[in-house]
Structure formats: structure tokens, C-alpha cells
Amino acid sequence: MKMENIMALSNEAIFDELKKILVESFETPEEQITLEANLYEDLDLDSIDAVDLAVKLQTLTGKRIKADEFKAVRTVADVVRAVRSLLDS
Amino acid sequence: MRKLNYVWRLLMTGVAFSLFSIGGLMITLLACPVIRLLPGDANRRRERTQWLIHKLFGVFVGFMCTVGIMRLHLKNADALAEARGALVLANHPTLIDVVVMISLMPRSDCVVKGALWNSPFLGGVVRAAGYISNAKSSEELVESCVDALQQGGALVIFPEGTRTQPGAPMRFLRGAAHIALGCEQPILPVVLSCDPPTLSKGRPWYDIPPRRFEYRLEVKSPLSVSDLIEPDLPGTLAVRRLTVALENHFALELAACGQSAH
């Protein structure tokens, strides 16, 4: 995906991209991925996965993610919000 | 007679538990200062402490066998004694698994609970032995484990993370796979079983089995990551596939060992 397209991403589109990453890289069952789902408790990610996920989101957005901010992320909605604020910053 | 035997085993189980804590405190108070005074660097100190724990665990297992609480059946245990730079993985049926394993290993590294690390009885010992505390982030924990392996240690890991829930299937956490993928060292599978079950999760020490338990330890052939998963997978997938492959491997080995036991 090209950079200018990404900047225009709607929250729905961010959610879809995130879903794709979770299914492809973390083998998360697609039907479990909802905005409310907790990455660690519901989607079986661990803290090492979280680092990998942050790296993938960096590649997607082309912006650096601060490790401290990403540590506070718990749910899928939190990730969408984090990506949103990265794009808007 | 049966009743008498039960009371005897109950008493001796209590003694064994007390010996363990008192022994830990004695090493912390007496042996650690002596080891610190001996010449040699931190590495030598660590080796000596590990060797001492190995010997004392040997005495402890010997005690339990002699008084008739348990009977030990070993298969290919020499492979454990000679293990260097190997990731030793085992299933985790009882409280004494690590004790039996280390009693067979002159050099061993293992991961211990944060609570044990700070325990007044055993804390001094586990710190002096250079064991790895699990009270750090997963990334640091995996890194410490990989370091220990690359320095030639034999690292004991229970991939389930805790004792098996009796009656439930084994569930492996991904930590062991992360470590195995972080280095090129061989995996040495150890299959443990205890019959009748005792000292399992959620069971108090005084809930002893109706007869002396038969404890079996078998060291299987070493494995490498490439035996278990396809090459060149991205990291997040590799760790998941390897975890499932290890879980299946152990389930098969356990089923086979259950059959041969009957």
C-alpha cells in the first residue's frame, strides 16, 4: 500500500489491516478479532508478539512507535487508536 | 501392616519436605559463604553451587527411595548427565521433577519463580547457582536463557510453565519455542511419569498415594528445530508451529511410555 493511501485510512480500514496482520502473522482466528478483544487474554498474544506487532505497524505506517505507548495497548480498539494517532501526528 | 506403611510414608514425606527447606537454609547460611571464600571467579562459584545442589538433590532422592516413599526408574539418564549447551525440555507431573532431574545433572541452569528467588530459605541458593529468575520481561527472560545455553549450560525448562493439571491435556506455553528458535542448540526431551499420581498441582503434601509411587524418567533422542518445523518461517509463525510440534511430540512420547508401563 502506498503512503498517501495510508494517511487517508479510515478507522475501519486500519481495523482491516490489523486483522490481516493478526491472521497472517499470529494465526489468530479471524472471527475472534473484534474491537473489544483483548490482545493478551482473548487473542493469545504474548509480550514478545506485541513487539513484533509494533514493528509490523511501523512498517505499515512508516512512523516510529514508542515502546512505552505500545505497552499500554490492551485491546484491538487500543491498537486502532494508536495507529490513528500515529497517522495524525 | 498396610496402615502402618501408610503412616510411615506420611511421616517420611513430612520429613522430606522439612529436610528440603532446612537444607536450603543451611546451604544459604553455611555453604554459600564457603563457596564465596574459595578461589575462582563468579563462573567457578556458580559451577560449584550447581554441583552442590546436584549432590544434595541426589541425597534427597536417595532418601525418598530408601525410606520407601518412591521407586525411581531411569532410562538413558547418562544423556542428561552429559548434556551441555542443550535445551532440556520435560513434562511436569510433580513437585519433585526438577529435583530428580538436577540430581542427575552436575551442571544445570533453570528458570525459577520470582517468589523462590526471594525466599529466605532457598533464595540464597538459587541466586548463587546463577539460576534465572522469571520475574523479568519475556524478552529478557528468553535472552537470559539463550545466553545460558550458548555458554554451554544445560537449561532445564518445563514448557507447560507449571505442573500439569491432572486429567487435563498438556498445554505448552511459547517460551520454550522462543528459546529454541533463539539459538541453534539441540533440544533434549525428557519424559516423566509418576504412578500413582502424587505431588501434582493443587494437591497438599500430606495427600499421599495409597502405595509407594513409581517415578519414571526417560531421556529421549535429541531433536533440532529443523526436525520439527519447516524452515524459513517468519518468527511469529515459527514459534507457534514449534510450540504445537513440541506439544504433539511430548503427547506421543507420554502415550507410548504409558503403554509400556502397563
Contacts of A26 in chain B (CB under 8 A): 236, 240
Note the pLDDT of residue B224. Answer: 95
* pLDDT score of A8 more than 70: no
> Is the predicted ipTM greater than 0.85, yes or no?
no
Confidence of residue B158 (pLDDT cuts 50, 70, 90): very high
**What is the per-residue pLDDT across B89-102, written as a single tens digit (0 to 9) for each?**
999 999 999 999 99
State the average pLDDT over residues B56-65: 95
- What DSSP letter does each residue of B118-160 carry, written as one string? T-TTTHHHHHHTTPEES-S-HHHHHHHHHHHHHTT-EEEE-TT
**Quick one: DSSP state of residue B229?**
S
Residue B237 lies in a domain: yes
Question: What mean pLDDT is predicted for residues B160-187?
Answer: 91
Q: Any idea which of B59-68, B95-104, B116-125, B192-201 has the lowest mean pLDDT?
A: B116-125
**Å from A53 to nearest chain B CA?**
9
Confidence of residue B261 (pLDDT cuts 50, 70, 90): very low
Stretch B51-57: mean pLDDT, rounded? 93
Q: Looking at the predicted structure, is the pLDDT value of residue A1 above 70?
A: no
Q: Structurally, how many domains does chain B consist of?
A: 1
* Cross-strand bridge partners of residue B188: B88
* Residue B19, domain CATH: 3.40.1130
Write out chain B residues lying below 8 Å of A29, CB-based.
none
The pLDDT-based confidence of B189 (bands split at 50, 70, 90) is very high
Most confident range, picked from B86-100, B114-128, B155-169, B193-207: B86-100
Residue A6: band (very low, low, confident or very high) from pLDDT cuts 50, 70, 90: low
Q: Kindly tell me if the per-residue pLDDT of B56 is higher than 50.
A: yes
Q: Give domain status of residue B110, yes or no.
A: yes
Higher pLDDT: B92 or A64? It is B92
Q: In the structure grid, which three cell numbers stand for residue B80, read together?
A: 542428561
Within-domain flag for B97 = yes
| Dist. CA A58–CA A64, nearest whole Å | 6
For the stretch A23-34, pLDDT in tens is 999 999 999 999
The yes-or-no verdict on residue B168 having pLDDT over 90 is no
Average pLDDT over residues B121-137: 88
Of A55-59, B145-149, B188-192, the least confident: A55-59
The Cβ of residue B104 has, within 10 Å, a number of other Cβ atoms equal to: 22
Indicate whether A3 pLDDT > 70.
no
B123, pLDDT greater than 70? yes
Whether residue B257 has pLDDT greater than 80: no
* pLDDT band, very low/low/confident/very high, at A5 (cuts 50, 70, 90): low
- The reply to whether B6 falls in a domain is yes
Which grid coordinates belong to B43? 563462573
Instruction: Give the H or E element holding residue B13.
Output: helix B2-26
> 3-class SS at B194?
strand
**Residues B173-199 as b or e (16 or more Cβ within 10 Å = b):** bbbbbbbbbbbebbbbbbbbbbeeebb
In a domain, B238, yes or no: yes
CB contact under 8 A, A48 and B142: yes
Mean pLDDT of the B68-94 span = 95
Mean of pLDDT over chain B: 91
Amino acid at B61: V
Does residue B258 have a pLDDT over 70? no
Q: What is the mean pLDDT of residues A50-62?
A: 88
Chain A closest CA to B23's CA: distance in Å?
A: 37
The pLDDT of residue B262 is 41
> What is the extent of the structural domain holding B13?
1-257
Q: How far apart are CA B60 and CA B197, in angstroms?
A: 19
H or E element in which residue B219 lies: strand B213-219
Q: Residue B142 and residue A52: Cβ atoms within 8 Å?
A: no
Neighbours of B57 (CB within 10 A): 22
Specify the pLDDT at position B28: 81
Q: Check CB contact under 8 Å for B236 and A47.
A: no
Q: Which residues of A touch B237 (CB under 8 A)?
A: 25, 27
Q: Does the pLDDT value for residue B190 go beyond 50?
A: yes
Q: Is residue B79 part of a domain?
A: yes
Assigned C-alpha cell, B54:
546436584
CA B180 → CA A16, B9, B86, distances in Å? 33, 40, 10
Q: Cell 510450540 sits at which residue?
A: B243
Q: What is the pLDDT of residue A89?
A: 75
Q: What is the mean pLDDT of residues B101-112?
A: 94
Whether B125 is in a domain gets the answer yes
The predicted model scores a pTM of 0.89
| Lowest-pLDDT range of A5-19, A30-44, B73-87, B112-126 | A5-19
Nearest CA in chain B to A27: B237
Set of cell numbers at residue B84: 551441555
* Euclidean distance between CA atoms A80 and A14, whole angstroms: 6
